[in-house]
Amino acid sequence: MVSSSRIQCKGAADALGYCHPVRRWWVGDDDDDDDDDGDGDGDGDDEGKEGVAVNASGVDKSHACELVAISPYPTAEATWPSSAFLLGSDLKLKPKSKPDVEPCKQTTHFQMLHFEGSLDWVFLPVLSTSASLVSTKPLFSPMSSLTPQVDSGESLPPPPPPLTFSTSLFRQISPALYLQRHLLHSPPTRPNGRSPSQCRDFTLTTNSLSHAHGSAVVRAGDTAVVCGIRGEVLTIAPGDDPSRFESYHSSPTSATHACGSRGAGGASWGGLIVTNVELSTGCSKKYPLGPPGGLAQTLSDQLHELVNVTKLVSLDSLRIYDREDYSDVTPNAKIKGYWSLYIDVLCISLDGNILDAAWYAIVAALKSSRLPLASWNQTEERVFCDSSLYHPLSLRRSLPFTTTFALISLPHSDDNGGGTTVLLNDPDSYEEDEACEFLTILSTTDFEIVEGELSRSPLAGLRTRVEKIEKRGGCKIGLRQIESCTHQATSKAARYIQSLMKEQLTPI
Amino acid sequence: MPPPTPLSPPELSYLYASLSLSPPIRLDLRTPTQFRPLVAECSFLPHCNGSARVCMAEAGECIVGIKAELEKDATTKYATVIEREKWIEVSVEVAGGGVSGPGSGVGIGGISGAGGATGRDEGDGGAAVWLKEGLLAGGAGGWSILDRLVISSGWHWKIYIDVLLLTPTSHPSPLLISAAVNMALDSTYLPKLTSPHDVDDIPTFSDDWAISAPLYEPTTFPRPPMSLPVVAVGDNVFLDPSVAEVAAAEAGLVVTLSLSDSQGNCDIVGIRSMEVGRGGGKEGDRKGINRTLLRQMVNACVKEAGEVIKGLGETTHKQMFRA
Amino acid sequence: MAAKAPDRRRNNPPSHGTTPPVFLSSSSGPVKPKQSSRPPDEIRKIFLRTGLISSVTGSSFLEIAPLKLSVSVLGPRPLPRTSSTPFAAQAILTTEVKFAPFASTVRRGYIRDSSERDLGSRLYQALVGAIRRELYPKSRIEVVVTILDSEDEGDDVNTVYIEEGKTTVETKFWDAGRSERALGVVLAGCITAASAALADAGIEMFDMVSGGVATSFVDEVSLKGKDRGDAVSNKLYVRDPAIVPPEGKAPLATCVLGYMAARDEISELWISGKVGTKNGTAEMDELVDEAIAAARSARGVLNEASKERVKFIVDKSGTAPPTEGGTTDVEMSG
């Protein structure tokens, strides 16, 4: 599978923001040609025999490896279709005295994971091999401070409190403990009765609104969102250059979009697709009324970026040409304007995991959108629409879906003193309040393949791929956990597709 | 939110009691249907197409300037309904940032305590909505002021009505604003078109104001609308209530009327309920208006309005011709 | 849309500014949409359900034909302890009405515009008298209405009709009072739904307020003559009017009111349009009576929805009597 993988490592402390010099290794497939370019700044603790520099302070026991790019294809660096950034930690190091410990005993936890592009989800083994590539070699010299402190007796669960409370009271008083007790139970059950990997049932309704060009209502548990899409016409003024919009839309990186919509200077003007989330609808007691707060702004940005980065809408269906008849576009037709899509998501009821619901609503609304046919009228010098001809938006072939997990760290567990992390699929707001961070996986399913075969078996022939994994740092999760999350995301995406198609097939 | 009033609960209770007597006794000894004196002048701003200034002793002063600008239709020949409604723009500004509270004239339009509490809104559009509604509603029944704004094919007037309130209290009476707007509209003249009607080019106008055309023809109807506030205390109905009376009242309405013939008969073009203080009443007495009271209140307005509007119009015209 | 300063808290449209799509029609006039077969004294079916939002005190969802709106009631909760907060012997009620950007023919902005604020203050007026605010001192009650879809003009208002040989804009009769009818239906829905949400929140009220709306129409031909609107002989009153007027009729006036059926009192009144005064207030009385009749019909739905909810709560808590005194209190007064 992997013909060339490169792993870039640097000191964990540095990656975590400490001001230590950067150390890098380039690790090829053959792990002999390690190239140490970070030597010379070790502070004496450097006893790496293979020329490996070790962080001077060494107090941070979570050392990290950072994979800059992995690719399953034997291609040149420049054309790699995807990139990943991950920060693992807690590489359990082989003590110098026992050089022959089997690699499988090692555990790798990921602290930060950012992956963008398109890969079969089976890339995970790649990650794990890459990670083991790093860890099979004694990159770090064994130091006493590096080995995790194993607390032998101190970390026993606290004695039960002398006071007892009713369950509902306990839930109110100490939500964190309440949640932990549930998750430590065997089998782990969440307070809402679901298992950690179980997501809420959702319902989807499309095109129930009369004034939107496309709309969707998604309800997942007690979270309900409405997404409405309206097209407005952007007429290109005589002096304008349409290439600005063409290039903006095709720009590959997310950074451009993030800066474009609301950049460093605060506010600025965005591109053709404008995504906004409104939470000030009295959707929750906790969310204040008034102008959008931090959560709404973050969400708007996240969704805006997702729409742009995934290139969900093709620019073809947004162009407005100078033509008299509605036949096919002639090659010399001039672009006179664009449709600008306003995607507005209103949260009606908020009970956690709004990102997934909002994204699903956006995709479904876009899929159901119909724009009137617009063209330039020469005599009136204005863009007019035809109220009798509507055409659907052309979306990308395979629709991506997000799946969000809440990471709950448990205080202790049997063997490793560091504690474990439990991932909860589709968290509600009670769980979200206690989560230390979130993991979002964007996965894709080929839509068209399935469409014809719905009658037979909706899920047959699905080809699911992972497009983006995002974890912003804070908690540590293991490889196995990421893998199982990816599986969950895959099956959830398949269910999304299924319900979306069911909705599309029902006559309006 | 309770209206910010300078009166204490005992004072309100006393006021309530005296207003609910039969016959009632108002603080300023007016009869229930008597208006407060007001000073009005019009056409005093040389750069406006129409202007008016109205002062009332307690309620303060209101200045209205109306300017007409030439605007090209968005389409060459035909405007959509939505575009047409933008031909009139109304803005209301309270000078000195006077906090407008419920029960105020501005508040009847919508900037009462109901809105701004969450800091989500900007500016003051409530009174503007109410004024514009009156202007457009006067046309229900086949006549619209918007028709008079069409100049030629592709061009129309855009009318800006700017209202400036100078009030010592936070309760400007709706009567003050609407009287000023009424006079200003009545004194608005638009220059005469000299270019042909059916040409798309920029129209040209005569600079002779003597042959300019009034926006509202003085001899045809309907005339510009005018709003009268009315409140009820007990079984008594009071026109043109003062700040204190609004604070003590149980129910309030603003009735917008427009003259329908030269005899001084009026048509109702709008009624809105006005927020009142409910200051002096007893608990659970009256939570709304029953139909008998409603009839009584509107009747009082209709009876008195003709004379008031006619009087105001005559003043306007006298001043116009003097100038 | 005019290019104003970009909003720092939201993603902004392209700086060029965009315009809503405008349709071109070469037919001689608006294609009259199909007429409803509903008799004029019958209101449209109302779907009203309460308690759908779990994270707020009270909520309701209302649907009347295309109108869809959701109401949340937050509180009563304590006023913020700041030095600027005055002492409030009664609960402070705030109401907010916001259209979703996609709820009407012309896309709305994110900041409430003047007509939305006006609706909010109308709603405030309708509810404030009914709530027993003295029972909740030093606290506030927030009513938030989100309108997801509304019946308004449809694409007709955004259509340019080209007629050969005509040079001026001719106001269609049905244009007049169009937005009043649209907003009137929305406001009446807001009032009814907000009462249901307040009852769901267990906030005590003197009576539940239901909204009603009625419009008076006359023959279009009688308006064209010299004696515009004076021919009051054949008025047609339509309760809960649709935007499209009945065939050959032109609207005169629209009346919206908040009505407390048990007390027979009007808490909010809004009449817009031309009401003649030849016979004193007789014409207005007829219009108001029609609107009250519409409000009474809505009250029936309101009662049913509240009853359903109370039953649900009681069933859920087994045989225990309902603890929310307010809810039952309100219920009995219907």
Contact check, Cβ <8 Å, C142/A283: no
**Could you tell me which residue, A364 or C168, shows the higher pLDDT?**
A364
| pTM attached to this predicted model | 0.80
**Could you tell me which residue, A118 or A173, shows the higher pLDDT?**
A173
**CA–centroid distance for C241 within its chain:** 12
Pick A290's closest partner by Cβ from B74, B75, B119.
Answer: B119
Mean pLDDT, range A283-302, rounded to an integer: 85
CA distance linking residue C314 with residue C294, whole number of Å: 31
C19-67: pLDDT as tens digits: 888 877 665 445 555 556 788 888 889 999 998 888 899 999 999 888 9
Residues sharing a CB contact under 8 Å with residue C251, sequence separation 6 or more, in sequence order: B140, C173, C174, C176, C177, C178, C181, C215, C216, C217, C241, C245, C273
Mean pLDDT, range A15-43, rounded to an integer: 35
| Inter-residue contact C71 to C59 (CB < 8 Å) | yes
Query: For residue A226, is pLDDT > 90?
Result: yes
Q: How many helices (H) and strands (E) does chain C have?
A: 5, 11
CA distance linking residue B81 with residue B88, whole number of Å: 13
CA distance linking residue B68 with residue B50, whole number of Å: 9
Query: Which chains have at least 3 CB atom pairs separated by less than 8 Å from chain C?
Result: A, B
| Inter-residue contact C182 to C152 (CB < 8 Å) | yes
Query: For residue B95, is pLDDT > 80?
Result: no
How sure is the predictor about C100, in pLDDT bands with cuts at 50, 70 and 90? Answer: very high
CA distance A383 to chain B (A): 10
> Which H helix or E strand runs over C99?
strand C92-99
Q: Are strands B226-233 and B236-239 parallel, antiparallel or unpaired?
A: antiparallel
Query: Which chains have at least 3 CB atom pairs separated by less than 8 Å from chain A?
Result: B, C
pLDDT at A131: 44
Mutate to test the interface with B, among C18, C26, C117, C136 (most CBs of B within 10 A): C117
How sure is the predictor about A498, in pLDDT bands with cuts at 50, 70 and 90? Answer: confident
Query: For residue B282, is pLDDT > 70?
Result: no
Judged by DSSP in three states, B190 sits in strand
Query: For residue C260, is pLDDT > 90?
Result: yes
Comparing alpha-carbon positions, the chain B residue that sits nearest to C130 is B287
Whose CA is closest to B222, among A211, C247, C276? C276
pLDDT at A63: 40
Task: Pull the structure tokens for residue A39.
Answer: 């030597």
| ipTM of this predicted structure | 0.84
In chain A the first and final C-alpha atoms are separated, in Å, by 46
Least confident of A23-32, A237-246, B302-311: A23-32
Q: Does A181 touch chain B (CB under 8 A)?
A: no
pLDDT at A247: 64
List the domains of chain B with CATH numbers. Answer: 22-193+221-320 (3.30.230.70)
What is the rounded average pLDDT for all residues in chain B? Answer: 77
| Inter-residue contact A420 to A450 (CB < 8 Å) | no
- In degrees rounded to 5, what are phi and psi of residue B206? -80, 140
pLDDT at A376: 83
CA distance B176 to chain C (A): 20
Query: For residue A502, is pLDDT > 60?
Result: yes
Judged by DSSP in three states, A450 sits in helix
Query: For residue C153, is pLDDT > 80?
Result: no
Mean pLDDT, range B193-202, rounded to an integer: 76
How sure is the predictor about A262, in pLDDT bands with cuts at 50, 70 and 90? Answer: very low
CA distance linking residue B50 with residue A192, whole number of Å: 68
How sure is the predictor about B275, in pLDDT bands with cuts at 50, 70 and 90? Answer: confident
How sure is the predictor about A264, in pLDDT bands with cuts at 50, 70 and 90? Answer: very low
Helical packing angle, C178-200 and C325-333, nearest 10°: 130
CA distance B116 to chain A (A): 10
Beta-carbon-side half-sphere exposure of residue C76 (alpha carbons within 13 Å): 20
**Could you tell me which residue, B158 or B76, shows the higher pLDDT?**
B158
How sure is the predictor about C186, in pLDDT bands with cuts at 50, 70 and 90? Answer: very high
Whose CA is closest to A58, among A46, A70, A76? A46
- Phi-psi region for residue B142, left (φ > 0), alpha (ψ -120 to 50) or beta? left
Contact check, Cβ <8 Å, B118/A289: yes
Least confident of A112-126, A165-179, B288-302, B309-323: A112-126
pLDDT at C172: 53
A342-359: pLDDT as tens digits: 999 999 999 888 999 999
Contact check, Cβ <8 Å, A382/B120: no
- For chain C, what are the domain ranges? 46-81+90-317
CA distance linking residue A261 with residue A272, whole number of Å: 10
| Inter-residue contact A364 to A218 (CB < 8 Å) | yes
- Partners of A380 on chain B (C-beta within 8 Å) are 75-76
Residues sharing a CB contact under 8 Å with residue A451, sequence separation 6 or more, in sequence order: A501
CA distance linking residue C140 with residue A288, whole number of Å: 14
- In degrees rounded to 5, what are phi and psi of residue A169? -70, -40
Greatest mean pLDDT among A12-21, A245-254, C168-177, C193-202 lies in C193-202
**Could you tell me which residue, A283 or A147, shows the higher pLDDT?**
A283
pLDDT at A356: 92
Contact check, Cβ <8 Å, B77/C284: no
**CA–centroid distance for B309 within its chain:** 12
Contact check, Cβ <8 Å, C10/A348: no
| Inter-residue contact A6 to A65 (CB < 8 Å) | no
CA distance linking residue A23 with residue A53, whole number of Å: 7
CA distance C177 to chain B (A): 7
Contact check, Cβ <8 Å, C94/B147: no
B20-35: pLDDT as tens digits: 888 899 988 889 988 8
Query: For residue A150, is pLDDT > 50?
Result: no
How sure is the predictor about C287, in pLDDT bands with cuts at 50, 70 and 90? Answer: very high
Q: Are strands A35-36 and A25-27 parallel, antiparallel or unpaired?
A: antiparallel
| Inter-residue contact B126 to B55 (CB < 8 Å) | no
B104-122: pLDDT as tens digits: 334 433 333 333 333 333 3
Mean pLDDT, range A321-337, rounded to an integer: 68
**Could you tell me which residue, B216 or A130, shows the higher pLDDT?**
B216
CA distance linking residue A119 with residue A73, whole number of Å: 10
Query: For residue A89, is pLDDT > 60?
Result: no
Contact check, Cβ <8 Å, C21/A232: yes
- Residue C94: burial class (beta carbons within 10 Å; 0-12, 13-18, 19+): buried
Mutate to test the interface with A, among C25, C55, C64 (most CBs of A within 10 A): C55
pLDDT at C310: 86
| Inter-residue contact C252 to C267 (CB < 8 Å) | no
Task: Pull the structure tokens for residue A57.
Answer: 């302070």
Residues within 8 A of A (CB atoms), B 191-250 only: none
Residues within 8 A of C (CB atoms), B 225-244 only: none
Contact check, Cβ <8 Å, C56/A285: yes
How sure is the predictor about A210, in pLDDT bands with cuts at 50, 70 and 90? Answer: confident
Comparing alpha-carbon positions, the chain A residue that sits nearest to B79 is A380
pLDDT at A505: 62
- In degrees rounded to 5, what are phi and psi of residue B102? -65, 155
CA distance linking residue B158 with residue B89, whole number of Å: 8
pLDDT at A158: 66
Q: Does A382 touch chain B (CB under 8 A)?
A: yes
Query: For residue C190, is pLDDT > 90?
Result: yes
**Could you tell me which residue, A237 or B99, shows the higher pLDDT?**
A237
Query: For residue B78, is pLDDT > 70?
Result: no
Query: For residue A424, is pLDDT > 80?
Result: yes
- In degrees rounded to 5, what are phi and psi of residue C141? -125, 125
Beta-carbon-side half-sphere exposure of residue B209 (alpha carbons within 13 Å): 12
| Inter-residue contact C113 to C67 (CB < 8 Å) | no
Residues sharing a CB contact under 8 Å with residue B301, sequence separation 6 or more, in sequence order: B228, B230, B239, B253, B255, B257
Residues within 8 A of A (CB atoms), B 117-156 only: 118-120
Contact check, Cβ <8 Å, A374/C21: yes
- Partners of B267 on chain C (C-beta within 8 Å) are 229, 274-277
CA distance linking residue A256 with residue A262, whole number of Å: 10
The fold for domain C46-81+90-317 equals: Ribosomal Protein S5; domain 2 (3.30.230)
Residues sharing a CB contact under 8 Å with residue B291, sequence separation 6 or more, in sequence order: C264, C266, C285, C288, C289, C292
How many CB contacts within 8 angstroms connect chain A with chain B?
A: 14
Mean pLDDT, range B133-145, rounded to an integer: 67
Q: Quick one: what percent of chain C has pLDDT higher than 70?
A: 77
